[in-house]
Chains A and B, each alone.
Chain A
Amino acid sequence: MTPPPIASLKTSMLLLLAAGLLAAAGIFWSHQQDTEARAALQAQQTALHAAHARQEQGRTEARLIAQHIDAYHALIARGFVGEENRLAWIEAVHLANRDARLYGLTYTLSPRAAAPATLAGGLPLKQTRMTMKMPLLVETDLPHFLDALHTRAPGLFRVSRCRLARTTDAPPQPVNRPELDAECELLWFTVVADTGKVQ
């Protein structure tokens, strides 16, 4: 083939070069547009899935609220949910002691601390240790007192430990004089309340 007359083809070669550059620029630009649109769609689809999940969660929560709200309010009224009510607990042990016809008691309330995680199960559960000492006439006075406390208790508690010790070495006498010392540790439980309306 005859070699190309380069000098007379400058315009056409520049045209070809320009077409190539323009085509490359157009492809690059439109590909960028396409990539950005694809990313935006991906983000929107993620947002849509999240919105659907929130909506479904809202429905589930609405069902949960409808199902449990009354019982939950009862727990609030009882003092299990919210701030600890030490005065009520003291009154309760005092009244339970009186109901069991015992001879008074001494108590110590420790600062509130976090309950063991295995027991809390992810909830903000707190426990307050109450140590009580009281004289007893017979061993069965202790369950009587604890039953009375369960009746009077405004919150939830558990008996962690109890120790009964005889104060004299003499055999039990049939007189109305307490010869047993009881020392019990109770754990009062409270769930810390979140503030504000749940979203």
Chain B
Amino acid sequence: MFSHRLILLATPRQIGVLDWRPGHMHWLGEFAADTAGIAAFRQIVVKHAQLPVLLVADTVDEDYRSEILPHVQGHARAELLARKLKQVFRNARFTGAWRQTRETTGRRDDRYLLAALTDADWLTPWLSVLHRERVPLSGITPLAMACQQLLSKLRVQEPHTLLACRLNNSLRLSYYHNGLLRFSRLIGSDTPTQLPGNAADEIAKTQLYLAGQRILPREARLHVLLLDPSGQLDSAQAPLNADPAFSTRLIDMPSLARALRIPDDFLAATPEVAPLAAIAGEAVQLNLAPPELLQRHTEFRWRRGLNLAAGIVAAIGLTITAAYWLHAQDLRDQVQQTQGEAQRADARHAAIVRNFPALATRPDQLGLTLALATQLNRAPLDVNALFMPLGQALSAHPEVVVKALTLQDTADGTADITLDAQLSDFDGNYRAAMSRIDRFVARLAATPGVASVERLTSPVDTAPTATLTGKTTGEAAPEETRFSLSLQVRT
């Protein structure tokens, strides 16, 4: 799409128009350099006004000059070339310079090919049409440059090549050194080149000229390629090959069509499209158009770049948007599936719960309630079990009379027993009474199931911190032997 362009082949007598895009080309016709032809050409241009145009000029009035100039860059180079072109071609409007290569020795200067259309008045009507219709002219280049691309497509490897190309009843001889144009001349139809012998003579004369100008080394053998769809140059091959300075071969149309990837019949019908097709997809290396004629093309390139950027931005935005949107749709599908699954799970749960009997508690508390009931059923304060050790000790000490007994559940696996008792008989001998109580306590402490025995009160408190009172009247009562004990019994 972005390489779609019109290629014009302009001669002083006519102009041909090729509509080209990669893989496709269409010959729109030739238009004579008269009023009708220009009008018809204008109609064609109007139809394709949005396409960039490359004009290939095929004229006798052209000039080439090889120059070696100092290697400079940027603005300095532009100024240097402008001065040089002005100096060489004086007032020629259509001039151009092509930096071909850089010397490998010495100052490593740049080698330039300077070219100009020395008489380009015949171009003015065509350029006027292009200017009026605001056509983006990408450049004006000589036909020899298009032929250079043709050699490249044909994969010609010889260092010194002379292409003899006969188109529009004119013979163009172009010399290429290592595939780069050095010189070209057009022999018009008004010169006697129609005879094969004359063509061979012209080639020989050109070889002498090139050698004389030191463009072609004297010892070099010139490889001549003959390209003539009409076949009139075929007979020049034999005389040229007879000269050891030449090696000549013909370029047949099928090979050319194959190299250019265009149909045979299309090439046979319009052989002038061959150089145009060769240069169509390439960048213009030698542009003879003055800057003011390229203004539209500059605008065109900026506009195309901006539109391309807008398209890329829009495409990227659309792609990311689509990716996000599709991902969101996928997630929404998953949401719906998950929602359905959750609803089904809820329905299954509801079906399970629906069959539950009426309960006074939560189902998870059923087991807890039962376990609690079992726990509560086990009485921590088993009075019978508590009486057992106490009874055994009291049986062994009948002099101990129980006055009060308190059983207390301590809820930690033991029970507290508080025992208030006294001795049944007392003769005033506190030492003997205390001894009997001590034995009773020792007996209790030794009884299985009793964890500890603590004496809370005694008939006589002999602790150094206690206040001790009493009387020694000689009277003794059992009440004076009251004591209390605290027992911890394992339940």
Contacts and interface: CB of A to CB of B under 8 A. Distances in A.
Interface of A: 2, 4-5, 8-9, 12-13, 15-16, 18-20, 22-24, 26-27, 29-31, 33-34, 36-38, 40-41, 44-45, 47-48, 50-52, 54-55, 57-62, 64-65, 67-69, 71-72, 75-76, 80-82, 119-123, 125, 139-140, 142-143, 146-147, 150, 156, 158-166, 169, 171, 189, 191, 193-199
Given A47-B342, A64-B367, A26 B362 contact: no
A81 B368 CA distance: 12
Contacts of A26: 317-318, 320-321
Interface stretch (B147-155, B162-170, B206-214, B329-337): B329-337
A198 B356 contact: yes
Interface string B392-428: 0000000001111111110100000000000010000
Interface string B297-316: 01100110011011101101
B363 interface: yes
- Chain B, interface SS category: helix
Interface residues of B, number: 78
Nearest to B401: A171
B373 interface: yes
Given A69-B366, A171-B424, A191-B369, 19 more contacts: A5-B295, A5-B302, A12-B310, A16-B306, A34-B328, A37-B332, A40-B331, A44-B335, A51-B349, A69-B359, A121-B368, A122-B365, A143-B384, A150-B379, A160-B381, A161-B406, A169-B479, A194-B360, A198-B362
A65 B360 contact: no
A9 B299 contact: yes
Contacts of A64: 363-364, 366-367
B358 A158 contact: no
18 contacts: A2-B298, A12-B302, A19-B314, A30-B324, A31-B324, A33-B325, A34-B327, A36-B328, A41-B335, A54-B345, A54-B346, A55-B348, A61-B353, A75-B370, A140-B387, A159-B379, A162-B406, A198-B356
B405 to A, nearest CB: 4
A123 B302 contact: no
A2 B298 CA distance: 7
- Chain A, interface SS category: helix
Contact of A48 (B345, B384, B406, B479): B345
A43 B238 CA distance: 90
A166 B310 CA distance: 111
A194 B362 contact: yes
B334 A41 contact: yes
Contacts of A62: 352, 355-356, 363
B302 A158 contact: no
B403 A165 contact: yes
A162 B404 contact: no
Interface of B: 295, 298-299, 302-303, 306-307, 309-311, 313-314, 316-318, 320-325, 327-329, 331-332, 334-335, 338-339, 341-343, 345-346, 348-349, 352-353, 355-373, 376-377, 379-381, 383-384, 387, 401-409, 411, 424, 479
A164 B353 CA distance: 54
Closest 3 CB pairs of A and B: A23-B317, A193-B360, A30-B324
A8 B411 CA distance: 100
B180 to A, nearest CB: 25
Nearest to A27: B320
A72 B357 CA distance: 12
A194 B407 CA distance: 36
Contacts of A189: 376
A42 B303 CA distance: 47
Nearest to A125: B372
A31 B325 CA distance: 8
A143 B359 contact: no
Nearest to A50: B342
B305 to A, nearest CB: 8
A108 B343 CA distance: 56
Contact of B364 (A61, A143, A146, A156): A61
Contact of B373 (A30, A44, A75): A75
A37 B342 contact: no
For B323, B338, B357, the residue with the greatest tally of chain A CB atoms inside 10 Å of its CB is B338
Contacts of B298: 2, 5
Contacts of B361: 72, 81, 191, 193-194, 198
Given A30-B325, A64-B363, A75-B369, A19 B345 contact: no
Contacts of B367: 64, 67-68
A158 to B, nearest CB: 6
A23 B313 contact: yes
Nearest to B365: A123
Contacts of B345: 48, 51-52, 54-55
A178 to B, nearest CB: 15
A33 B317 contact: no
A16 B369 contact: no
Contact of B302 (A4, A23, A59): A4
Contact of B320 (A30, A81, A194): A30
Given A41-B335, A65-B357, A162 B407 contact: yes
Contacts of B318: 23, 26
B381 A33 contact: no
Nearest to A122: B368
A156 B327 contact: no
Nearest to A3: B298
Contact of B407 (A5, A41, A55, A163): A163
A125 B373 CA distance: 10
B381 A162 contact: yes
A82 B361 CA distance: 10
B341 A161 contact: no
Nearest to A51: B345
Contacts of A16: 306-307, 309-310, 313
Nearest to A166: B403
A8 B349 CA distance: 72
Contact of B372 (A13, A58, A191, A193): A191
